[in-house]
Amino acid sequence: MILNELRNKRIKGVSSAPTPPFWKRAGRYGTRIAILGFGREGQDSFLFLRKLFPQKILGIADQNQHPTSNIQHLKNVKRHLGENYLKALKNYDLIIKSPGISPKTIKSHLTKKQTVTSQTEIFFNSCPGTIIGVTGTKGKSTTASLIYTVLKNAGFRARLVGNIGGPVLMSLLEARTGDIFVYELSSHQLMNLKRSPHIAVFLNVYPEHLDYYKNFQEYVTAKANITKHQTKKDFLIYNSENKIVREIAKKSKAKKIPIPTNYEFITNIRIKNLIPLENIGAAIAVAKIFGISKRTIIKVIKNFKPLPHRMEYIGNFKGIKFYNDSLSTIPETAIGALNFLGKNVQTLILGGFDRGLDFTNLAKKILKSDVKTLILFPAAGERIWKTINKEGKSAKLPKSFFANTMKDAVASACKYTPKGKICLLSPASPSFGVFKDYKERGDLFKKWVKRFGRK
């Protein structure tokens, strides 16, 4: 059990932790360091290294010719930008790789003498506080945010870091032993990790990111690192209803806590706030480890605002209720959204980039649902419709409309959705091809819903 003494500890700096190999290696005279990928994480790595080693010449390698507007003003930097950015890697001893760059992309450009590390690895090897790691194909951000909010409201010195939170390495410079870091961890960040968090939260695993990995099993293996290196002193909070997660949990040495889903006192709150019970159950399980009261948990859940693009209620326009679930990039999340909102969903917007996922179960769910209208984006939308036709040979099929812009999609939704019913954007596909990312897709959906709603 983690003691409430964590609330009051005041020991500053990372010096309280054992000196990790990274500090020794990076600070050694003559060690050449490259930052591979100069997006959000890469820029944080640069600021971190510059703080530690003000005069050191650092390499920056990025496929983008202009990854950020201020890169030309950085001092003591060697820039390797554009299509040949990987060729410079051979000139460096230590490479800090951003998670979005697949290991198979850089493999042929490396030698055995080089060390490739990541922000996550540096953080895990250096953090003096307690790490709560949250992973899963879906639900990571909401769960991590819930856990963080519960801890903060209970008086703990908690920080939210990773994809949904603040920069990891810069926060490390101010870390203390009493700090609790709630870290949202993607499979890319977990891949090749040699340490696991003290408290691991494992939500689910579904086929995803198959363009990044050799195969689905490699993706599963990356996810499993969240508990692989745990000991009997650690905790694994896991979804026992997900077969893959359940099998991984069997091999874990940590104390296992299945995610509870039978808390009657939060059922009505969950429905009101559109937060999946799985996410709430995981947060409650963490709260119990820290001895947080039921009263505090209920208060947080009541006031917790769902994150954008995740079952986000846009409003009632012309009698139609609109929901934005743009982060739905796999069939399972669209199925979950239909289950959650129930029979009132009569218009469903699907499709996007086609990663070759299996849409059979989604097709069966749609055919059994009360969905009357489908609006489909290319190219996945075309294959979804073919799968529905294949599975529903003797059934009455919903109407289908194909759209190339969100404006056209929302216009069709407004035209064909009856008053009192729901129009749901839950694409079951990535956004690429038609939209920049899921945020742009969701923002455009909200924009056109509100515009058509005013007419």
Q: What is the pLDDT of residues 363-398, one digit of tens each?
A: 999 999 999 999 999 999 999 999 999 998 877 899
Q: Is the pLDDT of residue 1 over 50?
A: no
| Residue ranges with strand state E in 94-245 | 94-97, 115-117, 130-135, 158-162, 180-184, 199-202, 235-238
**Domain presence at residue 272:** yes
The verdict on 274 and 360 lying in the same domain is: no
**Domain presence at residue 6:** no
Res 12: pLDDT? 30
Q: Of the candidates 102, 120, 138, which is a domain's last residue?
A: 120
The verdict on 115 and 131 lying in the same domain is: no
- Six token digits for residue 342: 């129930």
Res 302: pLDDT? 86
Domain total of the chain: 3
SS3 (DSSP) at 348: strand
| Residue ranges with strand state E in 98-240 | 115-117, 130-135, 158-162, 180-184, 199-202, 235-238
The verdict on 372 and 439 lying in the same domain is: yes
**What band does 211 get if pLDDT is binned at 50, 70 and 90?**
confident
Res 405: pLDDT? 97
Res 209: pLDDT? 78
Q: What domain range is 428 assigned to? A: 312-454
Q: Phi/psi zone of residue 428: left (φ > 0), alpha (ψ -120 to 50 degrees), beta?
A: left
The verdict on 113 and 146 lying in the same domain is: no
- Six token digits for residue 212: 């990044």
Q: Residue range 305-330: average pLDDT?
A: 94
Q: Return d(Cα 308, Cα 327) in angstroms, integer.
A: 9
**Domain presence at residue 7:** no
**Domain presence at residue 11:** no
CATH code of the domain containing 326? 3.90.190.20
Q: Are 444 and 406 in contact (CB under 8 A)?
A: yes
Res 390: pLDDT? 94
Res 266: pLDDT? 65
**Domain presence at residue 368:** yes
DSSP string, 229-296: T--TTSEEEE-TTSHHHHHHHHT--SEEEEPP---GGGHHHHHHHT--HHHHHHHHHHHHHTT--HHH
Q: What does the pLDDT look like over 9-46, one tens digit per residue?
A: 332 322 234 445 566 667 676 789 999 999 999 999 99
Bond preceding residue 379 cis, omega within 30 of 0: yes
The verdict on 152 and 81 lying in the same domain is: no
**What band does 267 get if pLDDT is binned at 50, 70 and 90?**
low
**Domain presence at residue 12:** no
Backbone angles phi, psi at 96, to 5 degrees: -100, 105
**Domain presence at residue 3:** no
- 235-238 vs 255-258, strand pairing mode: parallel
The verdict on 113 and 133 lying in the same domain is: no
Q: Of the candidates 68, 102, 120, which is a domain's last residue?
A: 120
For tokens 């060697």, name the residue.
78
Q: What does the pLDDT look like over 230-266, one tens digit per residue?
A: 999 999 999 999 999 999 999 999 999 999 877 666 6
**What band does 423 get if pLDDT is binned at 50, 70 and 90?**
very high
The verdict on 153 and 288 lying in the same domain is: yes
The verdict on 163 and 297 lying in the same domain is: yes
The verdict on 257 and 206 lying in the same domain is: yes
Looking at per-residue confidence, does 141 or 164 come out higher? 141
CATH code of the domain containing 80? 3.40.50.720
Res 7: pLDDT? 37
The verdict on 347 and 425 lying in the same domain is: yes
**Domain presence at residue 196:** yes
Res 352: pLDDT? 96
Q: Of the candidates 303, 333, 354, which is a domain's last residue?
A: 303
The verdict on 163 and 241 lying in the same domain is: yes
The verdict on 280 and 140 lying in the same domain is: yes
Which alpha helices (H) appear in 291-344, and where do they start and end? 294-303, 331-341
pTM for the structure as a whole: 0.90
